[in-house]
Structure 1
């Protein structure tokens, strides 16, 4: 049987960085990993494993008992974040971590330090997998894929363990918010599912942000600076005025827990035209609506000041808080909590300050809370994951299956 670590170290070799470009359905690297996973699933005996033209991998492990057991789904995503390079990942194993600074890359003076990331100190004596300081690691979500695959491998190697139908899916483009765009819930066939896409060991999540993407366009007027008096309208400076009208303490760096925010993710342009891209997040739907209304009011006020259509705004809802879809079937959360406790993991039920495929899938008729992978510092060069946490994630998946089989 292949270990979860062996799988993970193999999967991170695939460059599956997703793309923000809307014309891209799925990047070539995602298809490459998807095809490899299909072959692996078939080798494990899941004969119906397939990848479709959009890059979705689906497979089913049939029930091996006549007992009525609800079909359970486990989902992870193929892609890594576009925020940082995911090519030529070179994982480093830090054995028996002693709590000191970890030099990821001596040449570039890149250091993973508990001074910056105090959670490292929770893993003294454990073996960690880190980056080499030049790429992300890819635990988000190749750790999740490895954990699901290893659990299936275990069940296939221990056919005396009874279980119901288990539905497996690996989705593309989750990191750019399109992981559920073409997900076929009916074909997947699960009554409910779990995304294996969380962070530190013990995380169990069924609440997430309501989310919107915002594009603000500022139209200026460019004139030669030598004769610009009374004529030039500098779109960059007007964009700066828009930025300053948003509350400075409602940004990601100043918020935590259930606090929402406005996040300026990108600014580009020139005197003639400048574009601001934001994401807006809030757990409460009323507050979420108020945030969007505030942005629209700022546009109205600035257009009154500088002239009509100087500012324009486009707001697109991305996903909503899945809490309302999980609470009516709270047993799926409670049984995940029991599974963690049974394998010696302390459940840490917390809101997701982000989103997962499960957020959208829950509104598509597939209630889908999120369980941990074990990783930290996703999307960047300081990403790391403790090996024992990955092994515990496999145990939790197997225990969830066992709990539903025993009912």
Structure 2
């Protein structure tokens, strides 16, 4: 099979699609639509005539069924935006062909070195064609690898109508990285029964479990007085906020001290003045009771600190973000089982994993579209050290092609 995934990926990552967590618009940045328009054009040129971008920046397209069997409509989903953690402007992808196994020094900043020691997964990819950024930006493999893989698989399926499969819906989303990726998806228009996000990491990984996630905002109201006449009167909201953050445990319940199935409380933003300050947190764990336990603990810290500052008041606002998709997927075991079979047919051993994070599939699962997550090869996400193996991407394309056939065979 001749693949186009590498060339597509190199093309897509050079389009800046960084989303903005502070924006109130949807999508959060208009530039995400630049990639969406290109994808629509390429899909239409490939023969998928109904490809379109809607007013929210979503790309919808259909690969028609090639079988007379009644097969559930399957959705293939990937997100177009890149994270705000690291610049996505002027990405210069570099292909390290037949990589020699040595540490990769990135040319635009020689202090940026992708070392085998720090990236043990990379050590197994000697001889592969490894793509990195140049050292000044992230690469954008998260999730343009998934976009490129779906696009290549779509091209191949359209060109090979002898491959039997049911109707396939393609969905490319903006704003996944800011937690709003499926906020405006038209589920009726999408018209799929089951789905798969292509947004996983290492070769063979299949993720059927995510964190459950809430956002918490603590808002502190202080008392502002001219500092020259403030004795016994001024109550600084900034200092109260700082004390709350300082009271968080140092050795547990933080991203930097947890792993596997351990959850955390993570302050991600603090802003304000003497009179009023706000702290934004993300709260994560695999079960809702554990999530709520972390929130109870954080509220207790807030109450204790505020009581030490007479005149200060505080509010505690919880916003549900997403829930562990395993709650839904366990009711539809065939969705994961068929993906495992497809990965095996691609010549890869499936690796069942849990995500210490979320995907569009987390929310889609609770919107009526059970949706596990399949590997793309993207690694070292959200950083200048992001990298991907072309051969891993090609295996992901193979997996998609086998997946739609498995659904047809077993329907």
TM-score band w.r.t. shorter chain: over 0.9
CA distance in 1 between partners of 2:76 and 2:24 (Å): 28
2:404 counterpart residue number: 401
Deviation at 1:195, TM superposition (A): 0.4
TM-score by length of 2: 0.94
1:23 counterpart residue number: 24
Are 2:297 and 1:284 equivalent residues in the alignment?
no
Deviation at 1:225, TM superposition (A): 5.0
8 Å CA contact 1:131, 1:137 repeated in 2: yes
- 1:201-242: CA deviation from partner (whole Å, max 9, x where unpaired): 111111111111122223334555555443443333322221
2:276 counterpart residue number: 273
TM-score by length of 1: 0.95
8 Å CA contact 1:105, 1:111 repeated in 2: no
Deviation at 1:310, TM superposition (A): 2.6
Counterpart of 2:138 in 1: which secondary structure? coil
2:378 counterpart residue number: 375
Are 2:353 and 1:350 equivalent residues in the alignment?
yes
Counterpart of 1:168 in 2: which secondary structure? strand
Deviation at 1:399, TM superposition (A): 0.8
8 Å CA contact 2:240, 2:306 repeated in 1: no
CA distance in 2 between partners of 1:316 and 1:388 (Å): 40
Structure 2's unaligned 5+ residue stretches are: none
CA distance in 1 between partners of 2:64 and 2:236 (Å): 63
Alignment of 1:167-316 (within 5 A): 167-223=169-225, 228-248=230-250, 249-307=252-310, 309-316=312-319
Greater shift in the superposed pair: 102-111 or 90-99: 102-111
Counterpart of 2:354 in 1: which secondary structure? coil
Counterpart of 1:127 (choices 120, 126, 129) is 129
2:11 counterpart residue number: 10
8 Å CA contact 2:263, 2:284 repeated in 1: yes
Greater shift in the superposed pair: 112-121 or 383-392: 112-121
8 Å CA contact 1:236, 1:271 repeated in 2: yes
CA distance in 2 between partners of 1:238 and 1:300 (Å): 11
2:336 counterpart residue number: 333
- 1:302-333: CA deviation from partner (whole Å, max 9, x where unpaired): 33332365332222111111111101111110
Greater shift in the superposed pair: 31-40 or 385-394: 31-40
Are 2:59 and 1:57 equivalent residues in the alignment?
yes
Counterpart of 1:315 in 2: which secondary structure? strand
Deviation at 1:155, TM superposition (A): 1.0
Structure 1's unaligned 5+ residue stretches are: none
CA distance in 1 between partners of 2:149 and 2:179 (Å): 22
Counterpart of 2:80 (choices 75, 78, 93) is 78
Greater shift in the superposed pair: 368-377 or 17-26: 17-26
CA distance in 2 between partners of 1:83 and 1:285 (Å): 27
Q: Quick one: structure 1 residues 40 and 106, their matched pair in 2 at CA, closer, same or farther if it must change by over 3 Å?
A: closer
Greater shift in the superposed pair: 312-321 or 91-100: 91-100
Greater shift in the superposed pair: 92-101 or 148-157: 92-101
Greater shift in the superposed pair: 371-380 or 235-244: 235-244
Are 2:400 and 1:362 equivalent residues in the alignment?
no
Report the aligned-residue RMSD. Answer: 1.7
- 1:32-80: CA deviation from partner (whole Å, max 9, x where unpaired): 1111111111111111111110111111111122122221110011111
Counterpart of 1:170 in 2: which secondary structure? strand
Greater shift in the superposed pair: 218-227 or 30-39: 218-227
Q: How many residues matched?
A: 407
8 Å CA contact 2:237, 2:312 repeated in 1: no
8 Å CA contact 1:62, 1:164 repeated in 2: yes
1:138 counterpart residue number: 140
